[in-house]
Amino acid sequence: MGTVVDDAAAAEFHAFFERHYAELARLARLLTGEPDAADDLAADALLALWHRWDRVRAADHPVAYARGVVANLARTRVRTAVRERRRVALFWSQREERTENPDVAGVVDVQEALRRLPFRKRACVVLRHAFDLSERDTALALGVSVGTVKSQTSKAVAELQRLLGTRAAPRAPRQVHAAIARSGGAAGGAR
């Protein structure tokens, strides 16, 4: 008998999906201003509704409930985007950085070594040494504690020294700092 109820609930949800998906996607598009994200938000909202379908179908106004879920997801997306833009604006360097007679091979070696670091270590060392951010500003940018920044930076510098040491590359933290700064802080692809 449970299968019949499940099939009935699935059919009811499918009909709800067909009737309201376009409307929910339009709502998401208008709330976020991101046409590409609207379909994803509507799909995420409908997935959340499916997981609570017994509660949603018992509600007086299931469509209002669905709109509320879309609005909450859109609000989260907008807040995340605003925080990210603030972080970028806060740490964006306005000065022009040019290096005369760059050590191209050294830069390539540093960039390759940076790519081999796990993301958090890489982010800490790049923000601290290439962008000259304080431990506090780095922690703020990454959403971690100052202690985490200290330990991850220390471990990253040690790892870079190990990776670069065999290539007659910088061995002291100050030299690693200079090499990272010269490399433009390009940390390569994310992990």
Task: Tell me if 60 sits within 8 A of 20, measured CB to CB.
Answer: no
pTM as predicted: 0.46
Mean pLDDT of 85-105: 66
CA-nearest of 29, 49, 30 to 40 is 29
The angle formed by the CA atoms of residues 173, 175 and 179, to the nearest 5 degrees, is 115
Residues 6+ apart with CB under 8 A from 27: 42, 67, 70, 71, 74
Q: What is the mean pLDDT of the chain?
A: 79
In this predicted structure, what is the pLDDT of residue 41?
92
Q: Is the pLDDT of residue 154 over 90?
A: yes
Q: What is the pLDDT of residues 21-35, one digit of tens each?
A: 998 999 889 888 888
**Res. 1: pLDDT tops 90:** no
CA distance 46 to 13: 9
